[in-house]
Amino acid sequence: MWMHNGGIGCWRQVKRRLTESIRDEWFVFVQGSTDSEWSFALFLDSMDRMGHHPLSPSTESGFGHTVLRKAMLKTIERINALIAGIPNDQKTEDCRSLLNFAVTDGHSVVCTRYVSSRTDEAASLFWSSGTNWREVGVKDEEGRSEYKMERRDKGADIVLVASEPLTFERGMHKLSNKVRYCDAMLTEVRADNWVTVPTNSTLTIHKQTVLVHPIMDEFHVANPSHTRSSKFARTKGQTITNAKKEVITPGTATPNTIGNRASGQASPNLDVLRGGLGELNTAM
């Protein structure tokens, strides 16, 4: 399963360069023309070039989260390099990319929250974990229910990733000891059920263990107090978070609160990832 929320910068100028960089096996795999489909083909091609054929997992437990994460980083690196290779006089579009990717081999999940900029904020991304996903009985006008994540012990049987929080109750909780922050990544834990993935980071889920790594490239900023602008992501129709880790949606001057998100409305981009991770949780 592959998911992309965002867009590849300078797409009209970079598309031919990207497609020409992909081996025939993955080139013919693509049925459409969107940047999301071609970024998936680029990911498959990157795995193949790393010595891991995407159609032939080496073990029954998949390729392993390390292989998936490295292939994801290589995919982002190749996208950035292709855009950088476009002559300046041919750059008629904004060349900044929003690359919130997610991929799974059925055993591990790797997600990214990424923007090819040192000054802009990426589209928002959150994760939540617990032991049970329980319906609370509140339905909206379309008959859809609200759900709440329960935590019956220190473990985590379920890990969810979404562009925006899917539940809105508040209450302090202790994170599982299976949550690990790698490479000195500094992450703020919110006082509700959802944790913000930092801009330009990968989030890896393997056996309900959550790993967060910074993406160390030319757009990495080591200073944890560094501030980024939300304007770019908002003009692209993406949700972002403010300094308080509250969600800001396009066209609003102030962030949505817990109360005014309780209608149950969610971004369409959530559906693919929510469904895919639900299937993954069942398989695991």
CB distance 181 to 187 below 8 Å: yes
Side-chain half-sphere exposure of 254, counting CA atoms within 13 A:
4
Q: How many CB atoms lie within 10 A of CB 45?
A: 23
The answer, as to whether pTM is greater than 0.75, is yes
Side-chain half-sphere exposure of 90, counting CA atoms within 13 A:
14
Owner of token pair 């060349």? 95
Closest CA to 245 of 201, 199, 190, 192: 190
3-state secondary structure of 195: strand
Q: Which residues pair with 19 in a beta bridge?
A: none
Distance CA 179, CA 275 (A): 23
Phi, psi (deg, nearest 5) at residue 27 = -65, -50
3-state secondary structure of 91: coil
CATH number for the 2-100 domain, one of 1.10.10.410, 3.40.720.10, 1.10.580.10, 3.60.20.10?
Answer: 3.60.20.10
Distance CA 204, CA 1 (A): 15
Instruction: Kindly tell me the sign of the dihedral angle through the C-alpha atoms of 194, 200, 205, 208.
Output: negative
pLDDT of residue 135: 77
Instruction: Kindly tell me the sign of the dihedral angle through the C-alpha atoms of 143, 148, 152, 156.
Output: positive
CB distance 200 to 213 below 8 Å: no
Closest CA to 13 of 102, 116, 114, 83: 83
pLDDT of residue 60: 73
Side-chain half-sphere exposure of 157, counting CA atoms within 13 A:
11
Task: List per-residue pLDDT tens for the chain, 284 residues long.
Answer: 899 999 999 999 999 999 999 999 999 999 999 999 999 999 999 999 999 999 886 667 789 999 999 999 999 999 999 999 999 998 988 999 999 999 999 999 999 999 999 999 999 999 988 877 777 766 777 777 777 777 776 666 788 899 988 766 543 333 444 444 444 333 333 335 788 999 999 999 998 789 999 999 999 998 878 889 999 999 988 887 766 666 776 654 433 322 222 223 333 333 333 333 333 333 33
Domain map (residue ranges) of the chain: 2-100, 126-283
